[in-house]
């Protein structure tokens, strides 16, 4: 697993290894990450990454948020409450030397509470597949003021998610067993 674009292009991130089976870590592959950023940058959204406030829910390794930082995002908040994920995020932030631009919150993504800082312009949502956690996390983030008006949401899931009518569907593409859904916040 590596950073595929921006100032840190080619940087290898910490290996997940055998990991913790209970952690359910399923890092987004380099190929799917590249496809996501190509969709964002070439999909008619302008450049939603450069200067963005990023929120990465179910951050896992932090690769999506860190890819954003490498590509010019201003700040990233990574949310994951797993011990294995926390260790990987810390190692990857150190490898990227991005500690001043990244905040990691050990928190349940489905119960975020009120946003303590800036609302996100770009949200990555990569819940464990097939458990309906994405819907709860997105509702929590919207309710708590974590998502800016008009923000783009990139949702990674195995099946089409149940999307609140408050969000508008922008694009949806399948890459193997991964379905990428791009939404626009109200």
Q: CB–CB of 72/101 below 8 Å?
A: no
- Give the pLDDT mean for 121-129: 93
Q: What is the pLDDT of residues 49-90, one digit of tens each?
A: 999 999 999 999 999 999 999 999 999 999 999 888 899 999
Q: Provide the domain count of the chain.
A: 1
pLDDT exceeds cutoff 80 at 167? yes
Q: Is 3 domain-assigned?
A: no
SS3 169: strand
Domain CATH number, residue 128: 3.40.50.150
Q: Is 49 domain-assigned?
A: yes
Share of the chain above pLDDT 90, in %: 77
Q: Is 125 domain-assigned?
A: yes
Task: Tell me what pLDDT residue 69 has.
Answer: 97
pLDDT exceeds cutoff 90 at 104? yes
* Residues found in the chain: 186
Task: Tell me what pLDDT residue 24 has.
Answer: 61
Distance CA(156)–CA(179), nearest Å, equals 6
pLDDT exceeds cutoff 60 at 20? no
Band of pLDDT at residue 141, cut at 50, 70 and 90: very high
Q: Is 1 domain-assigned?
A: no
pLDDT exceeds cutoff 60 at 19? no
Q: Which structural domain, as residue segments, surrounds residue 111?
A: 29-184
- Give the pLDDT mean for 119-140: 93
CB-side neighbour CA atoms (13 Å) of 106? 9
Q: Is 75 domain-assigned?
A: yes
Band of pLDDT at residue 101, cut at 50, 70 and 90: very high
Q: Is 173 domain-assigned?
A: yes
């Amino acid at each position: 697993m590596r950073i595929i674009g921006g100032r840190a292009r080619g940087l290898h991130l910490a290996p997940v290894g055998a990991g913790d089976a209970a952690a359910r870590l399923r890092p987004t592959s380099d190929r799917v990450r590249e496809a996501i950023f190509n969709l964002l940058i070439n999909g008619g959204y302008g450049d939603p990454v450069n200067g963005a406030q990023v929120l990465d829910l179910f951050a896992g390794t932090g690769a999506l948020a860190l890819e954003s930082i490498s590509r010019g995002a201003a700040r990233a908040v990574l949310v994951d409450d797993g011990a294995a994920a926390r260790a990987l995020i810390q190692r990857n932030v150190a490898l990227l030397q991005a500690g001043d631009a990244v905040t990691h919150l050990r928190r349940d993504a489905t119960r975020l509470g009120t946003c303590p800082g800036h609302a996100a312009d770009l949200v990555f949502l990569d819940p464990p597949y097939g458990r309906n956690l994405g819907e709860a996390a997105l509702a929590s983030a919207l309710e708590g003021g974590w998502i800016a008006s008009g923000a783009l949401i990139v949702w990674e899931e195995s099946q089409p998610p149940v999307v609140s009518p408050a969000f508008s569907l922008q694009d949806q593409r399948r890459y193997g067993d991964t379905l990428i859904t791009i939404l626009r916040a109200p």
